[in-house]
Amino acid sequence: MKKISGNPFLKKEGGKILIDLIYLEDIIKKFKTPFLIFLENRIRDNIKSFIDVISSEFNDFECYYSFKANFLPDICNIICSERIGANVVGLPELKLALKIGFPPNKILAGGPYMPKEMIRLSIKNQIKEIIAYNLNDIKKINLVAQKFNIIQNICIRVNSQKYNSKLGINFDEKNLLFLERLITSCKNIKITTILSHYSTQLNNFEQFKKNITTIIEALKNFSRIGINVKNINIGGGFPEATIMPQNQLRKIVKNIRTIFEDFNINYEKIYFEPGRYFVGDAGLFIAKILKVSNDRNAFLNIGNHICPKFARCSLRFYNASKIHLSHNEPTTFLGIVPTDQDVLAKDYFFSEYLEEGDKVLVTNTGAYCLTFSNRFPYPLPKIFLIKDNQLKQIFDPDIEKDFSLH
Ligand SMILES: Cc1ncc(COP(=O)(O)O)c(C=O)c1O
């Protein structure tokens, strides 16, 4: 059986598409497109291959799933059951992580907007670390920690120095001095970790290297003012597992270890915060061709409102109704948002014959599609989870109305 999109849980068998152990045509008979499918076994598989690689290079590492990649409770539940930690950016994600049962000592919480309630809930539950994206948040954290009479561990997010990046703290002399004063006056916090996340979809070591160079620079600056952090958090940024095969991941992770060694950097633990790598290729859309124009523009019944460019997915398109045909004719896929900008892919190799009503399988839509989706007034898709030969509906727009977190 031939794999589709490099995914071992998506196969062609006698002109049919097999999703894990279920034929796609059986699902299509029962449900109207568009819908979204997640593959539980692929998520577990991705986690296993990630941990396998990291554990072969690092003795002391921790891994936190970045909830923003996909915050559906059923997805986060699977990840929790694999004993991965949670990295949450906001109060709704923090509440969800606690509700699902991530142990508080496996939760890292922090983002560009940290309302007092988020700090309070983090400290009350004694989560592992609060991540400070700006220095003023440290004062706020200290005040709440004082009330609870505890010392709160803090991770500082430094600016990755990627061109134009606005996230995280830039440690110029002024900010260093400010931090030095803060740590003398704030007795209820302890700076334990430093974080820099470079970008998503990092596909070569050079990009990881830039991130690590930033971390090393910041560590030096910190030690000048007497802060010796124990742990290093390099964030996420790994592409979909089908895009970054395990041997390539292994090379990158090995190089990451080596660069720290070359610079004689001592640390207790290294943290990773993958999002896309775990869930990206575990999600697929099933859509339908609404119209085909003479110049091979195919209009699908999904669009950038639910499959947004912002998500930066490595989208792949297959004619599920004609999967036996070779896919070698450049085709442009357009969405249903009424703007010329709703282009899903330009000149993508697709079956020469295509017609209205053909079902299209769009792979690698598991990460960030839902997070970045917007409120354009179309119905939300049904969402299913497949494991072996079991299909479970995990979101029904007619009943639940919305999948966003509150
Ligand atoms: C701090 C941090 N960690 C982890 C991630 C997850 O990134 P990815 O899904 O690319 O692995 C992000 C994404 O923006 C992030 O900002």
Per-chain mean pLDDT for the chain: 96
pLDDT in the model for residue 109: 98
Distance of CA 327 from the midpoint of ligand 1 (Å): 33
Q: Average pLDDT, stretch 385-393?
A: 98
* pLDDT tens for each residue of 129-151: 999 999 999 999 999 999 999 99
What residue spans define the domains of the chain?
A: 2-41+280-400, 43-278
Instruction: Label residue 113 left, alpha or beta by phi (over 0 means left) and psi (-120 to 50 means alpha).
Output: beta
359 close to 320: Cβ distance less than 8 angstroms: yes
Taking Cα atoms as reference points, which of 164, 133, 162, 138 lies closest to residue 152? Answer: 138
Length of the chain: 406
Q: Is the CB of 240 under 6 A from ligand 1?
A: no
pLDDT in the model for residue 166: 87
Distance of CA 380 from the midpoint of ligand 1 (Å): 25
pLDDT in the model for residue 321: 98
Of the listed ranges 82-96, 156-170, 221-235, 288-302, the least confidently predicted one is: 156-170
Largest CA distance in the chain: 70
For residue 139, what are its two tokens? 């004062």
Distance of CA 159 from the midpoint of ligand 1 (Å): 14
206 close to 168: Cβ distance less than 8 angstroms: no
Q: Is the CB of 66 under 6 A from ligand 1?
A: yes
Listed in sequence order, the residues at least 6 apart from 83 whose beta carbon sits closer than 8 Å to its beta carbon are 106
pLDDT in the model for residue 188: 98
**Ordered strands of the 7-13 beta sheet:** 2-4, 7-13, 16-19, 22-23
Beta-strand relationship, 107-109 and 231-233: unpaired
Q: Is the CB of 168 under 6 A from ligand 1?
A: no
pLDDT in the model for residue 307: 98
C-alpha span between 279 and 229 (Å, rounded): 31
DSSP string, 309-333: GGG----EEEEGGGTTS-EEEEEEE
pLDDT confidence tier of residue 214, bands split at 50, 70 and 90: very high
pLDDT in the model for residue 406: 83
Q: Is the CB of 284 under 6 A from ligand 1?
A: no
Q: Is the CB of 186 under 6 A from ligand 1?
A: no
C-alpha span between 58 and 260 (Å, rounded): 11
pTM reported for the whole predicted model: 0.97
Q: Average pLDDT, stretch 54-76?
A: 98
Q: Do domains 2-41+280-400 and 43-278 have the same CATH topology?
A: no
- If you take atom 3 of ligand 1, which residue's CA is the nearest one? 235
Atom of ligand 1 nearest to the CA of 167: 16
Q: Average pLDDT, stretch 44-61?
A: 98
Atom of ligand 1 nearest to the CA of 201: 10
pLDDT in the model for residue 401: 87
Q: Average pLDDT, stretch 189-210?
A: 96
Please check the confidence at residue 165 and state whether its pLDDT lies above 90. Answer: no
Residue with tokens 């999904």: 302
Q: Average pLDDT, stretch 175-189?
A: 96
C-alpha span between 72 and 369 (Å, rounded): 12
Q: Average pLDDT, stretch 327-346?
A: 97
Q: Average pLDDT, stretch 361-388?
A: 96
pLDDT in the model for residue 1: 82
Distance of CA 331 from the midpoint of ligand 1 (Å): 32
381 close to 396: Cβ distance less than 8 angstroms: no
- Which of 208, 233, 273, 364 for mutating ligand 1's site (highest number of atoms within 8 Å of CB)? 273
Task: Assess if CATH 2.40.37.10 describes domain 2-41+280-400.
Answer: yes
Q: Is the CB of 276 under 6 A from ligand 1?
A: yes
Question: What phi and psi values does residue 332 have, to the nearest 5 degrees?
Answer: -105, 130
pLDDT in the model for residue 294: 87
Q: Is the CB of 238 under 6 A from ligand 1?
A: yes
Question: What phi and psi values does residue 78 have, to the nearest 5 degrees?
Answer: -60, -45
pLDDT in the model for residue 353: 97
Task: Assess if CATH 3.30.300.350 describes domain 43-278.
Answer: no
* pLDDT tens for each residue of 83-107: 999 999 999 999 999 999 999 999 9
Please check the confidence at residue 394 and state whether its pLDDT lies above 90. Answer: yes
Distance of CA 68 from the midpoint of ligand 1 (Å): 8
pLDDT in the model for residue 161: 87
Q: Average pLDDT, stretch 307-317?
A: 97
Identity of residue 398: D
292 close to 354: Cβ distance less than 8 angstroms: yes
pLDDT in the model for residue 182: 95
* pLDDT tens for each residue of 245-293: 999 999 999 999 999 999 999 999 999 999 999 999 999 999 999 999 9
Neighbouring C-beta atoms of residue 51, cutoff 10 Å = 16
